[in-house]
Chain A
Amino acid sequence: MTKNFLCLSLIAIGFFGSTSCTDQADQDPHGGTLVLGMTADIQRADPHRQTGNPSNQVFSLITESLVELDAQGRVSPGIAESWQVSEDAREHTFFLRKEVLFHNLRELVADDVKQSYQHMQDPATRSPKRADFAMIDRIEVIDRYTVKFYLKEPNAGFGATYFGGNAPIIPPETFDTDHPVGTGPFQFVEWKPRQYLKVRRFDGYWNDGLPKVEEIIFRPVVDDTVRYTGLLAGDLDFVFSLPFAQLPVLSSSPPSGIVPSIKGGSRWFFLNLHTQRGPFKDVRVRRAIAHALDKSVIMDGVSWGYAEAEAQPYPPGSQWYFSDVEDLYLESDLEQARSLLQQAGHPEGFELTAIVRNETLIMDLAMLVQSQLAKIGIEVKLEVMDRASHLARQRQHDFDLNPGHMGFFPDPGEIFYRLNHTGVPDNWGLYSNPEFDELVEQGRRTVDFARRKELYRQALGILNQEVHFIYLGHLPVAQAWRSRVQGLETNIRGDIAFHGGGMAYAWIEE
């Protein structure tokens, strides 16, 4: 609208040259401004101190990491062109791209990688990413373009965790400033908190010909419906996270000028059961819960029919998806559930408490679970609370039932170990099984992909038998953009920057 207005103004004051605005746009697909509707504002402009998905999305266009994810969430080259993992999975060597420039036009070299990681590890930085880097023992610069990480313990999936905005490599001369400098396709211009964050094309970007648009403005519009309305009004060109209630109409008859993108996503829904409290100590009770649930109804209910029930954390299309995993609890089997409860000595059912984060999706999930468990006499008391309270209750292992959803981890070493291994902080339900522990430890020590996949396949089999986590299914990625945005794709996580696609590849067609 602004551009049209400018164009008309130029005509009106007779300041118009031989080339019209429309002609200009036609001749030059490399230009224009896109306005992106974000689900939240960034909290900090310092790449090493920011956290959370909305921030990661913004910073993924400004900064880059050693590796990136591709369309299906596979680990792919980023700043590092290639990498090697030692046989014992303790040494990870990354070979960097040459002639990668920071936005201050200085070349990125191995020492920048080392210093960036050390800066995030430094307690004084108070980086939210610090705990993730605790496994790094030391970092060695082998030569100008080669850097080697020595780990305290084996971890074959080490590199996979640090993609996108998770471990940005930034020039040491810009540490601790609020003007982020990276090597990404766009350079930071300005941030007006709660108003907008503006980035501009970086002409020195190593990937020739990219990016194609001149400027991107991120605007935080917290409410899903308002964000969608902003897209309809033409104030926004792209929106994250459409309201699911709009999906049936939007996918069957999209409004003129709007391109909906609704596809299978990677965020997975779960029901986490405490394994050391009350009746849940008995695996038969946990299985009874799983049998009582109708996963298809739950996933339909929370996603308006846009999600399939699954029995694993990785979605179809991911390299870590196990196509041969049988879902033992796909259909609701109330007789089996009642019989298991009877065997466990609870024929009349019992009461339990679920901690529920005050987020629509999770509250919907909790209410569906509550109504389904009532059929076998289990009365679920829902304790609805905000995120910080919920995080504290998880940390204190203070719940019976914990419904929720979780994002995508590119390596199963992270997801299986972190949530289920005996004694780790994020094992909220205090699950413990030496056989499982051994499998995931082996998985961390094993470099060979096929062998690792088999190990995690076995580990998943145990989890599905022991029902510490009931995997429910994956949420769709629901985004939309205006039809003037061309060449845009997002990946399985809904990321706007990934290997081979994203905003850097998009252009504007007026």
Chain B
Amino acid sequence: MKKYVLRRLVISVLVLLLVSVMVFSLIHLIPGDPIDYLFADETLTPEIRAQYQRDLGLDQPLLVQYGSWMGRVVRGDLGMSLQMGRPILNLIAERVPATLLLALAATLVAVVIAIPAGIIAAIKRHTSYDYLFMSSALFGLSIPHFWLGILLILFFSVFLDLLPSSGYRPLWSDPIGSLEHLILPAITLGTSMAAVVARMTRSEMLEEIGKEYVRTARAKGMPERRVIFRHVLKNALVPTLTILGIQFGRLMGGMVVVEYVFAWPGLGSLVVDAVYSRDYPMVQALVLTFAVFAVTINMGVDILYRYVNPRITLE
């Protein structure tokens, strides 16, 4: 186990290095630069423009810029945002709680809806339950977030006046307010995630139900409930867990549309704004952070397999 984790850590460092080269190259390849955006409303003479380029180090060769950025990153210094003039680490730290809260809540919504729906659809295969759940899943998968979000706002905020239309409250300072603000974005996000998870659960359950050990268990007279929950579900959950891990990692990388619709201060809008404003250090730091999230979550999920299914070895 230790050996496995160590090997994964070494690979992770290489992955992160590759990500850093890619993000640095890509953001510098896009036309336009931070000075264009920062001083969009002003008339910049070529002299003042050149001076800003020197100030920001943008006149240096790209390799030198990359080297100096990586040098700072390995020392834990992500730099300052050009657009906001504040340390990037602080800006990310401010947004992580909101992103984490929404990602967890959306995953919870997905799990609560999807796993029972997937199980029922599999057990009651080709019945009206199955068709209902699976067509709902297809609907949930197809519906765009911005549309569902606005519909939910119209229904729950405008017509019923039950929930706030948008915004965020930190969980620790205002728990009730925080949950009120969380419900609609979590449902919006959780719906599409539930759709994927429900379909995956159903197909994995069906595959397991058809296996010989299930027939044996039934032949031995084991109650059906025990067959399903003790044996089938446990085996079927492994791929579902992978999907959940991937989806959760995706959510941690930002939920841009939902963040804009619900004015949710997450990491997604931060990275989009940073790309738009060509805030180079910010984009680089954020993409690297997302890569760290993805690598960590994937490793966590792999380790979790072992607990869900002890036959899996991590070597």
Binding site for B on A (CB under 8 A): 1, 43-44, 46, 49, 51-52, 123, 126, 128-132, 134, 178, 192-196, 219-223, 225-226, 229-230, 232-235, 385-393, 395, 418, 424-426
Contacts and interface: CB of A to CB of B under 8 A. Distances in A.
Given A126-B52, A219-B263, A388 B45 contact: no
Given A230-B165, A388-B37, A391-B32, A225 B85 contact: no
A388 B84 contact: no
A293 B276 CA distance: 32
B212 interface: no
Contacts of B260: 222-223, 226
Contacts of A220: 263
A385 B37 CA distance: 14
Nearest to B278: A388
A223 B37 contact: no
A267 B260 CA distance: 25
B33 A388 contact: yes
B194 to A, nearest CB: 23
B41 A388 contact: no
A389 B31 CA distance: 5
Contacts of A1: 161
A388 B32 contact: yes
B62 interface: no
Contacts of A226: 149-150, 153, 165-166, 260-263
B161 A194 contact: no
A3 to B, nearest CB: 14
Nearest to B82: A126
Contacts of A44: 84-86
A381 B52 CA distance: 34
A229 B278 CA distance: 31
B293 interface: no
A195 B168 contact: yes
Give the interface size class of chain B: 35 or more
Interface in B249-285: 260-263, 265, 269-270, 275-278
Contact of B55 (A126, A233, A390, A424): A126
Given A195-B265, A235-B164, A132 B85 contact: no
B132 interface: no
A387 B45 contact: no
Given A131-B45, A193-B265, A43 B83 contact: yes
B158 A232 contact: yes
Contacts of B86: 44, 178
Nearest to A123: B51
Contacts of B21: none
Interface in B19-62: 30-34, 36-46, 48, 51-52, 55
Given A131-B43, A193-B265, A388-B277, 11 more contacts: A123-B51, A128-B39, A130-B42, A195-B168, A221-B263, A226-B261, A233-B164, A386-B276, A388-B32, A389-B32, A425-B44
8 contacts: A1-B161, A51-B39, A195-B168, A229-B154, A233-B157, A387-B32, A388-B34, A425-B45
A426 to B, nearest CB: 5
Nearest to A407: B41
Lowest 10 CB-CB distances: which A-B pairs, in order? A388-B32, A194-B265, A233-B157, A391-B36, A392-B32, A131-B42, A233-B165, A389-B31, A230-B165, A389-B32
B94 interface: yes
B158 A233 contact: yes
Interface string B155-192: 00110010011111000000000000000000000000
B153 A233 contact: yes
Nearest to A394: B36
Contact of A418 (B34, B43, B153, B157): B43
